[in-house]
């Protein structure tokens, strides 16, 4: 009767002195000298290895995205986002305060778009290239992207503060833009 010798470790990992190798004879099939099939077949192992990196990447992307406030805000309704912004900048808030809120407290995707004169009054250093504010000529609005998520396409949530002739907030609008390939 033919067979293949397999080596097993006898003992526990913590008990190093009593650990020893023990040989045991495993019978082969019908006199051939081929060892028995491993417990996991190669095909199954390759399938698992093919999908494992993609699965890990998907879980990481899913979990990492929910930690981002900009991503979480994109999942909310326009009314909920508008109410959140109205809580921080209620109707009648001066334009300079809104600009300060957008630049210092609001988590958003730069650059914010604001009238050139207001940016100049708030902080002249923001008029440099690469700033978090993009000055616009004229107008009475401050516009910023407050939510963004990328899946198959991209969804962007923009908030716009509208001001009256006294440069006080009279409305906030929230709009969504979707682009798909």
Q: What is the pLDDT of residues 45-70, one digit of tens each?
A: 788 888 888 888 777 766 665 567 78
Q: Bridge-partner residues for 156, per DSSP?
A: 148, 177
Q: Give the pLDDT of residue 16.
A: 47
* Arithmetic mean of pLDDT, 144-161: 89
Q: Give the pLDDT of residue 53.
A: 86
Q: What is the pTM of this model?
A: 0.61
Q: Which residue has the higher pLDDT, 156 or 128?
A: 156
For every residue of 85-110, DSSP letters joined together read: HHHHS-TT-BHHHHHHHHHHT---EE
* Domain locations in the chain as residue ranges: 1-36, 40-65, 67-179
Dist. CA 48–CA 130, nearest whole Å: 46
Dist. CA 143–CA 11, nearest whole Å: 70
What are the b/e assignments for 75-88, b being 16+ CB within 10 Å? ebeeeebbebbeee
């Amino acid at each position: 009767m033919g067979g293949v010798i397999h080596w097993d470790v006898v003992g526990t990992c913590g008990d190093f002195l009593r650990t020893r190798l023990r040989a045991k004879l495993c019978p082969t099939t019908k006199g051939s000298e081929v060892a028995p099939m491993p417990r996991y077949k190669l095909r199954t192992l390759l399938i698992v290895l093919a999908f494992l990196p993609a699965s890990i990447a998907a879980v990481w992307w899913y979990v990492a995205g929910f930690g981002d406030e900009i991503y979480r805000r994109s999942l909310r309704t326009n009314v909920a986002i508008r109410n959140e912004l109205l809580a921080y900048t209620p109707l009648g808030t001066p334009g300079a305060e809104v600009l300060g809120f957008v630049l210092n407290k609001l988590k958003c995707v730069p650059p914010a778009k604001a009238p050139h004169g207001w940016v100049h009054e708030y902080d002249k250093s923001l008029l440099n290239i690469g700033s978090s504010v993009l000055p616009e000529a004229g107008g009475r609005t401050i516009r910023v992207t407050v939510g963004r998520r990328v899946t198959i396409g991209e969804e962007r949530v923009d908030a716009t503060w509208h001001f009256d002739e006294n440069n006080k907030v009279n409305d906030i609008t929230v709009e969504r833009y979707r682009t798909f390939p």
